[in-house]
Amino acid sequence: MSQFLDFIPKIPVADSVEDAMDLLTDTFAGFFDVIKKSGKFSMEFVTDFLVMIPPVLFILIIAAIAFFATKRKFGLAIFSIVGLLFIYNQGLWEELMNTITLVLFSSVIAVIIGIPLGILMSKSKVAETIIQPLLDFMQTMPGFVYLIPAVAFFGIGVVPGVFASIIFALPPVVRFTNLGIRQVPKELVEAADSYGSTGWQKLYKVELPIARPTIMAGVNQTVLLSLSMVVIASMIGAPGLGRNVLSALQQAKVGNGFVAGISLVILAIIVDRLTQSFNKKRQ
Amino acid sequence: MEKIKIENVSKIFGRHINQALKLVEQNKSKTEILKQTGATIGVYNANFTVNEGEIFVIMGLSGSGKSTLVRLLNRLIEPTSGNIYIDGENISKMNKKQLINVRREKMSMVFQNFGLFPHRTVLANTEFGLEIRGISKEERRLKAEKALNNAGLLPYKDQLPGQLSGGMQQRVGLARALANDPDILLMDEAFSALDPLIRKDMQDELLDLQQKVRKTIIFITHDLNEALRIGDRIALMKDGEIIQIGTGEEILTNPANDYVRTFLEDVDRSKVLTVENAMIRPISLNIDIDGPKVALQRMREEEVSVLLAVNKLREFKGYITADDALEASKKGENSVINYVRTDMPIVPPEMYIQDVLGIISDSKTPLAVVQEEKLVGVLIRGVVIEALSSSDENEGVTENVSIS
């Protein structure tokens, strides 16, 4: 029986994917290089700027935003102050800023790509049948796998880290945008149509505003996913808190790993609550 | 003048539409088409015309295709075949741009669940149609505020629709449609989601409004009483087919077939008839002027034993019995004011007979029909029963139709 199975020679999937990657890398080398250089430049610029802000001022700004975003409640504001002070106290301030830059770039780019894709999906059945399986694929593929093309295209450093994070964090915002627009009550779509709206008018004046809470839930998920890629991205040289977790792992230093891990959790909680409260506030 | 004309319009849902269409052209029945092709007929070969300024009611049970039919008029649903003319222009042949213009300028739609945008204020909702047309901010605000003012909703303009009651929301829906100043109003079960009392108010308001603005109104409903109340003409639909078109009276007196007849049996006469239809002329006495002698004289003249007491403004004050008038006369009094009894129940003229039945059976006296404090009629038990039982001849109902 096994002879029969062995009758079919191994299909060279791995080889052909590699060939295709090589081809891509070679053909678009100039393009990738431009992206890498400009990306690295702008991210370093943002990180430098963040590091330049006095930590006390930075903490106070975050606390103030948290205070007003949560309808003048003290909970999140106090948590932000204590948490950020803790990170500063542990000497992880610069790493924190690096991580924030990475999350900022990857989630903003993911949202910029994701929302139009979601809109396209909601409007076109063809687009939906093509994009849906791609999203399933992206979500089930382990995050590590994205590191390989990232390295192939961009070498090592922060840019491939952002690239891998974008791919990893993209699906929720696309799915939620699609869902949000499709869930707009039929009667409201009919109302928009019956008054003679063009497609764009309908989208801007009715569908997007009504779908916004759902889209924002997707944005929130995307931000958190890109944060969760931080550690994995550090394997290809992206700077930040992830690198500390990684080196603690490699050297089996439980204490260091714990501190860096807890710092990531603090950042995640602040980011999550902030994005959620922006959503609630506007409803 | 002819405003809307529908010619052989059909809508078929599902697959094998072309095949189904051929069968429609061969006048095959709906079940036959469903059996052969699996396609469902939404609207089957509809033909009618609507005149300018008319309230045309399309009535049918759920699934009869009435909502589909109204959506064919503005092509929210694309007709499979047939022609739809508005002001002589063929809507069904228009391209996207022309269609958008017709939707913007010629017709507005009012929806069953109001179709208000929850993220926009009442004012912004009312402005919607004008905004879509690209009318300047000042002008659309002015028009929208005027429309809201007519609906009595101007004080609520900055609230969100969710903060208003159902009746008020639908007034906003109507104001939004009217702000656009369309020729045609499409009203899809516009009042069906409202509770009965509010619904009746809204029907009255629509009729009042129609007196003023004279729009061409296509009104969809599943409620025959509503259709009879507001429709100039009614089209009855069943399974996507229009089975009868006519005035309420024509349909009631001359049902086209058994289906219409059974449908009409659902009409509860007591729900259609109002006090106004059954009340009779009151025999009254002006108690500010007339004394007991005049009272007794009038009772003899009219052969009654009770007079309704009014003041010189014809405001209802109570009633006087023959015994009391006689006693006052014996005592030599000049006025009967002290003998006026006030235990007579009062009902408004627009109240349904159904709601009066309980009151009239509990009351020893007839009922006074009072509108804005003025006495307008009197309701006697015998007349009420007569009105209800005249259903066999359909007299009561048709009378009501002509009044409303």
Q: Report the percent of chain A where pLDDT is more than 70.
A: 98
Which whole number is the average pLDDT over A224-250? 88
- What pLDDT, on a 0 to 100 scale, did the predictor assign at position B400? 38
Determine the 3-state secondary structure of B349 from DSSP.
Answer: coil
In this structure, chain B runs to a length of 404
Q: Does B132 touch chain A (CB under 8 A)?
A: yes
B251: pLDDT strictly greater than 70: yes
* ipTM for this prediction: 0.78
Q: Yes or no: say if B82 and B10 are a contact pair by the CB < 8 Å rule.
A: yes
Which whole number is the average pLDDT over B246-254? 80
Mean residue pLDDT of chain A comes to 89
Confidence grade of residue B393 (pLDDT, cut at 50, 70, 90):
very low
* pLDDT, tens only, B183-231: 999 999 989 888 877 888 889 889 988 888 889 999 999 888 888 888 8
Helices A93-123 and A241-250: crossing angle in degrees, nearest 10, is: 110
> Taking the mean position of all CA atoms in its chain, how far away is CA B217?
12
C-alpha distances (whole Å) from B145 to each of B9, B149, B160 are: 38, 6, 15
C-alpha distances (whole Å) from B24 to each of A12, B77, B83, B87 are: 57, 19, 15, 27
Q: What does the DSSP 8-state code read for residue B93?
A: G
Q: Does A198 touch chain B (CB under 8 A)?
A: yes
Which whole number is the average pLDDT over B138-153? 91
End-to-end CA distance of chain A: 63
Residues of A in contact with B117 (CB under 8 A): 188, 191, 205-206, 209-210
Q: E-assigned strands of B269-337?
A: 284-286, 306-310, 316-321
- What pLDDT, on a 0 to 100 scale, did the predictor assign at position B398? 39
- Ordered domains of chain A (ranges, CATH): 10-52+90-282 (1.10.3720.10)
* pLDDT, tens only, A258-274: 999 999 999 999 999 98
Which whole number is the average pLDDT over B28-50? 84
- What pLDDT, on a 0 to 100 scale, did the predictor assign at position B391? 46
A276: pLDDT strictly greater than 50: yes
Out of A38-42, A86-90, B25-29, pick the least confident. Answer: B25-29
* pLDDT, tens only, B318-341: 888 888 888 888 888 888 888 888
Q: Does B238 touch chain A (CB under 8 A)?
A: no
More confident residue, B15 or A109: A109
DSSP symbols for B211-250: HHH--EEEEEES-HHHHHHH-SEEEEEETTEEEEEE-HHH
* pLDDT, tens only, A107-119: 999 999 999 999 9
Out of A74-83, A207-216, A242-251, B300-309, pick the least confident. Answer: B300-309
Q: Long-range CB contacts (< 8 A, 24+ apart) of A255-264?
A: A259/A90, A259/A92, A260/A92, A260/A95, A262/A86, A263/A86, A263/A87, A263/A90, A263/A92, A263/A95, A263/A96, A264/A99, A264/A227, A264/A230, A264/A231
Taking an 8 Å cut-off on Cβ atoms, the answer to whether A198 and B109 are in contact is no
Out of A149-163, B117-131, B263-277, pick the least confident. Answer: B263-277
Q: Which amino acid is at B169?
A: Q
- Ordered domains of chain B (ranges, CATH): 2-106+182-266 (3.40.50.300), 275-392 (3.10.580.10)
Chain A interface, mutation test: which of B68, B71, B76, B176, most A Cβ atoms within 10 Å? B76
Nearest to A197 among B74, B119, B132 (CB): B132
Residues of B in contact with A185 (CB under 8 A): 113
The closest alpha carbon to A277, from A123, A132, A73, belongs to A73
B67: pLDDT strictly greater than 50: yes
Out of A73-87, A211-225, B265-279, pick the least confident. Answer: B265-279
Using CB atoms and an 8 Å cut-off, which of residues 67-86 of chain B contact chain A?
A: 71, 74, 76
B266: pLDDT strictly greater than 50: yes
A149: pLDDT strictly greater than 90: no
Smallest CA–CA distance from B110 into chain A, residue? A191
Residue A116 neighbours by CB distance under 10 Å: 12
In this structure, what token pair is assigned to residue B386?
A: 């007569």
In this structure, chain A runs to a length of 283
Smallest CA–CA distance from A207 into chain B, residue? B117
DSSP symbols for A29-64: HHHHHHHHHHHHHHHHHHHHHHHHS-HHHHHHHHHH
Q: Is A50 exposed, middle or buried (0-12, 13-18, 19+ CB in 10 A)?
A: middle
Residue B340 falls in which region: left (phi positive, over 0), alpha (psi -120 to 50) or beta = beta
Q: Does B131 touch chain A (CB under 8 A)?
A: yes
The closest alpha carbon to B236, from B244, B225, B228, belongs to B244
Q: Yes or no: say if A171 and A133 are a contact pair by the CB < 8 Å rule.
A: no
Residues of B in contact with A206 (CB under 8 A): 117
